Structure 1
Amino acid sequence: MSYLIKPAGYQALLDLQQTEMGIKRIKDFFQQNLSSELKLRRVTAPLFVLKGMGINDDLNGVERAVNFPIKDMQDASAEIVHSLAKWKRLTLADYYINEGYGIYTDMNAIRADEELGNLHSLYVDQWDWERVMTPKDRNVEFLKKVVNRIYSAMVRTEYLVYEAFPVITPVLPEEITFLHAEELLQRYPGLTAKEREDSAAKEFGAVFIIGIGCKLSSGEPHDGRAPDYDDWITETENGYRGLNGDLIVWNPVLQRSVELSSMGIRVDREALLEQLRISGQESRQELYFHKRLLAGELPQSIGGGIGQSRLCMFYLRKGHIGEIQAAIWPQEMRLEAEKNGMPLI
């Protein structure tokens, strides 16, 4: 069910033309900085992949992929991508990318099962990136190092926006705070996972929550994660599990937390087999992607996605993602958003 947050007294700080100029500046500047920070080269990515090869991102495992038959291939079924989490790792192998280097691309997706609202659209656009690493990098400290590099690019981009539009004052702290999902559970007892994210983001300004998908002391994971890309089962030095996480900031317009990036160290053979077993999806071992990984044909890697429209929405202090991107919205949401100063493109 769609849901609209109505920020009290909201008024857009930029008009439509300024907004489009801001979007262009942000996207150009941020992707250049991301590429430099992580040593990434840009590649071309697919909009759709063949169904049944295990390449598409299964997200939480319940979302339906938009699919269509291909006339010239005996009606073989293609799926619009949810993201390129697994495709990128195949590309690292096929392009023979060296350790310490990687790729990034503009990922465009359709997620038909999204609950539409200020932050969620049917159309998803993000920078998907993937970088080759060594086995000795399979640790939380390496994960944090990469997160800090990405966050540095985010802080610099916010200052660029301020220089172009002085009415927009920077709000990101200089450093990001790292918390494991279990630490979050203990720090804010009695709250739901979303409420814990809101509390942490409000307290620290920007947080990276480690361990998305692993079972916590409550018996439940902080949030769902597919079993075949991020490693959420490996036990770390501090006794926690998980080598992945979500980058979350406090949004001063919506007065709530907003996830800008999901990323992690990817599964190796052992983590994949264990996570497939835990999720009851051992049959995936017979799929194309999984066979190549289990055969040792894919490099160890770290990767993730960074929402383009969400990033622009945050930097330009917009109340609705529909002020950044053109998409389909329920008519009642369009009318209500317009009443509350948020005209949807």
Structure 2
Amino acid sequence: MEHSSIPQGYAPLLSIYETQKAIGLLKRLFEDRLSGALRLHRVSAPLFVAASSGLNDDLNGVERPVAFDIRAVDDTAVVVHSLAKWKRLALKRYQFHPGEGLYTDMNAIRRDEDLDNLHSAYVDQWDWEKIIEEQDRTVDYLKATVRDIVGALRDTQSFLRSVFPQLCVLPEIPEEITFITTQELEDLYPDLTPKQREHAFVKDHPVTFLMGIGGKLKSGKPHDGRAPDYDDWNLNGDLLCWDSVNGQSIELSSMGIRVSPESLDRQLTLAGCDDRRELPFHKMLLSGQLPLTMGGGIGQSRVSMLLLGKAHIGEVQVSLWDEDTLRACDASGIILL
């Protein structure tokens, strides 16, 4: 087992069959609430893209994509890590208008992921993206969108609790959201690691939006890695909630206002990624051919864990696990899907 740990005395609130029913209901409800709040239309998404396109998300820059050849195509296909760049190009190709956007089911394989209660080699997200105006590229607009997303989560939780009353023992997602920057968090807990800071803060502020991820802090290190070519590091953040089952912070969403030509130019240089300027996607963005957008990914399995009171992500999704994890979960009465 890599890092998984099962809380002492944990018992699932729902049977395996109730869990499957609840997951289906949850996904339908949340998609409906999210798309209505943000004016999003559902589209189909790729499982893989051409390596030469520059559309794949490089995450922290060290993860290896799953790659393979296609007999009839003169390029290497890579399984997506996320759809951050693809969505922006799709908004242009599909001729969306300002204020409108898209959402989709994103399924990915992250082969280098450390496996634990919250992390799997299989990733499932609601990926969304919408076109915004220049005047919307503000912290206030970002915060307003976060409030809409949390509102969709609260509505979904409320309905689930009416169908499955046993879920009422879980804490209700509060309406209040605490907004804090990564620098403010470092100033509060200078001797803790970034993850320790998150756990310490979110325990007392159960819905937190942590802003400003990617750039270096006063310590000389970023709070967390963020690719330089999709989020504007000054206008992004992570939505964190308190996981009462595992007693830790859980990241439900990474999102932000996307880079403009100016911020992309700056961040490519800061990240030492100037070679990307010659990729097709980056050329279009730098020359102003792509719309200004904002977007993010919301973890389907993590939302399911939080709202259904699950201790391990394998209880709400199907993946592959090491033998130690399988034995530990079996000994604790946890059924992995």
Shared fold per TM-score greater than 0.5: yes
1:331 matches 2:323: yes
TM-score, normalising length from structure 1? 0.95
- Indicate the residue corresponding to 1:153 in structure 2: 152
- Indicate the residue corresponding to 1:50 in structure 2: 50
SS at match of 1:243: strand
Letter in 1 for 2:327: L
Is the CA contact (8 Å cut-off) linking 1:11 and 1:341 kept in structure 2? yes
SS at match of 1:131: strand
Distance 2:143 2:281 in 1: 27
Distance 1:165 1:10 in 2: 18
Q: Percent identity?
A: 51
Distance 1:158 1:176 in 2: 16
Is the CA contact (8 Å cut-off) linking 1:334 and 1:343 kept in structure 2? no
Distance 1:102 1:216 in 2: 32
For residue 201 of structure 1, report the CA deviation from its aligned partner: 1.1
For residue 121 of structure 1, report the CA deviation from its aligned partner: 0.6
SS at match of 1:86: helix
Is the CA contact (8 Å cut-off) linking 1:206 and 1:247 kept in structure 2? yes
Distance 1:341 1:201 in 2: 29
Distance 2:140 2:297 in 1: 20
- Indicate the residue corresponding to 1:287 in structure 2: 279
Distance 2:20 2:335 in 1: 14
Distance 1:338 1:213 in 2: 39
Aligned residues: 335
Distance 2:116 2:333 in 1: 15
For residue 187 of structure 1, report the CA deviation from its aligned partner: 2.0
1:187 matches 2:179: no
For residue 86 of structure 1, report the CA deviation from its aligned partner: 0.2
- Indicate the residue corresponding to 2:176 in structure 1: 175
Distance 1:341 1:231 in 2: 44
Distance 2:40 2:205 in 1: 29
For residue 150 of structure 1, report the CA deviation from its aligned partner: 0.6
Letter in 1 for 2:28: D
Q: How does 1:269-308 map to 2 (within 5 A)?
A: 269-308=261-300
- Indicate the residue corresponding to 2:108 in structure 1: 109
Q: How does 1:1-345 map to 2 (within 5 A)?
A: 2-74=2-74, 76-169=75-168, 170-232=171-233, 242-345=234-337
Distance 2:270 2:125 in 1: 29
- Indicate the residue corresponding to 1:237 in structure 2: none
Judge which range, 37-46 or 169-178, deviates more: 169-178
Distance 2:53 2:226 in 1: 19
Is the CA contact (8 Å cut-off) linking 1:110 and 1:122 kept in structure 2? yes
SS at match of 2:114: coil
- Deviation readout 1:293-341 (Å, 9 max, x if unpaired): 1121100000000000110011110110100111100122111111123
Distance 1:108 1:119 in 2: 16
For residue 194 of structure 1, report the CA deviation from its aligned partner: 0.4
Letter in 1 for 2:172: V
Is the CA contact (8 Å cut-off) linking 1:249 and 1:257 kept in structure 2? yes
Distance 2:334 2:167 in 1: 17
For residue 198 of structure 1, report the CA deviation from its aligned partner: 0.5
For residue 188 of structure 1, report the CA deviation from its aligned partner: 2.4
Is the CA contact (8 Å cut-off) linking 2:228 and 2:268 kept in structure 1? yes
TM-score, normalising length from structure 2? 0.98
Could you list the runs of 4 or more consecutive aligned residues of structure 1 that deviate by over 6 angstroms after TM superposition? none
Is the CA contact (8 Å cut-off) linking 1:179 and 1:210 kept in structure 2? yes
SS at match of 1:231: strand
Letter in 2 for 1:96: Q
For residue 171 of structure 1, report the CA deviation from its aligned partner: 2.6
Distance 2:306 2:334 in 1: 14
Is the CA contact (8 Å cut-off) linking 2:16 and 2:335 kept in structure 1? no
Distance 2:188 2:156 in 1: 31
- Deviation readout 1:170-219 (Å, 9 max, x if unpaired): 43111211111111112223111101100111101110000011111111
Is the CA contact (8 Å cut-off) linking 2:113 and 2:119 kept in structure 1? yes
Structure 1 residue ranges without an equivalent (≥5):
233-241
Is the CA contact (8 Å cut-off) linking 1:249 and 1:258 kept in structure 2? yes
Letter in 1 for 2:176: E
SS at match of 1:265: strand
For residue 247 of structure 1, report the CA deviation from its aligned partner: 0.2
